[in-house]
Amino acid sequence: MRLPVLVLAALVVAPWAGSAADAQATTRRKVYISVDLEGIAGVVANSQTSPAGANYDWARKQMMAETNAAIEGAFAGGATEVLVNDSHGPQTNLRPDEIDRRATLITGQPKPLGMTQGLDSTFDAAVYIGYHAPGSTADAVHGHTFSGALKVVRLNGKEVGEYGLNAMVAGYWGVPVVFIAGDRAAVEMASDFIPGVDGLVVKEGIGYYAAKTMHPVEAREKIAAGVRAALVKRIARPPVKLGPSITLEVELDALAHADQVALVPGMKRNGRTVSYTSSDPLTIYKVARVIMALSRD
């Protein structure tokens, strides 16, 4: 039986719609994109330190290009609104005049919720671009979690990186993380922590400052296609939910840092390791940021 032309058109332009009820709900589809730098294709070091400082301008351009690829994929996948959060270092890496004009950008810091600023329950999906693994991971390009001073970070006993802390906040808002791009270590660890997430490996770490990398143009093409595919899937992917009680445990690099962090009311300490328990994911996230701030030399 032939489908009417209008029906075929509707199936093409509304990939998230599965029924008449769904069609009414597709009038507004919001996608949140958090973008870091260390996991961008071709980038092999942190832009804030030697030797990457000399390559920062180039790395920044690649970050901008992968961001625009993700935005392209989001709109192709049915998004009607896209919010991008610059999530690396000073968080002023993405130039507002170079971002896809269909998207809105959050730039600068400090921001109360850092890499998750702007996310709330009105979003339908979250996407992570340029992500990296935590600092204890072998063959991860510049692995760390917020700061090199936070050597190991655990949520309810499971080690996580920034992807895990950010997914916890997305889960608080009921938003599933549907796609992540970065180095192999980051994608594999995130896939183990975030249910149903689609992952794209754009490079494989060779130690801390080296990698075997996909060509940046190919990476951008795959990001656009991957984000679109992740959004058009009909599979229900649950957001990350921890609790009812969440314990944040952080092993710090120095006793002096633990001395500072231990001053936070409610914080527990065992040598260089500090921990904090709460039922509120946003509180846990903010405490992690406080630990980072107190651990700066």
The full set of domain ranges for the chain reads 28-232, 246-294
- pLDDT for 5 beyond 80: no
**Which CATH architecture is the domain 246-294 placed in?**
2-Layer Sandwich (3.30)
- pTM of the predicted structure, to 2 decimals: 0.89
Residue 137 DSSP label: -
Q: What CA–CA distance (Å, rounded) separates 184 from 192?
A: 12
Please say if 132 is a catalytic residue. Answer: no
Mode of pairing for the β-strands spanning 198-205 and 177-183: parallel
Q: What is 28-232's CATH superfamily?
A: Dipeptide transport protein (3.40.50.10780)
| Maximum average pLDDT range among 53-67, 154-168, 221-235 | 154-168
- From 100, 79, 80, select the one nearest 35 (Cα to Cα): 100
pLDDT (mean) for 93-97: 95
Residue type, 134: P
- From 26, 6, 36, select the one nearest 163 (Cα to Cα): 36
- pLDDT for 169 beyond 70: yes
Kind and range of the H or E element at 85? strand 81-86
Predicted pLDDT at 16: 57
- pLDDT for 21 beyond 50: no
Tell me the Ramachandran region of residue 156: left when phi exceeds 0, alpha when psi lies from -120 to 50, beta otherwise: left
- Cα Rg of the chain, angstroms: 19
246-294 has the same fold as 28-232: no
Secondary structure E strands in 92-218:
104-106, 125-131, 150-155, 158-159, 177-183, 198-205, 211-213
Q: Which of 142, 144, 215, 257 is catalytic?
A: 144
Instruction: Locate 33 and state its tokens.
Output: 């994109």
pLDDT band of residue 54 (cuts 50, 70, 90) is low
Predicted pLDDT at 40: 96
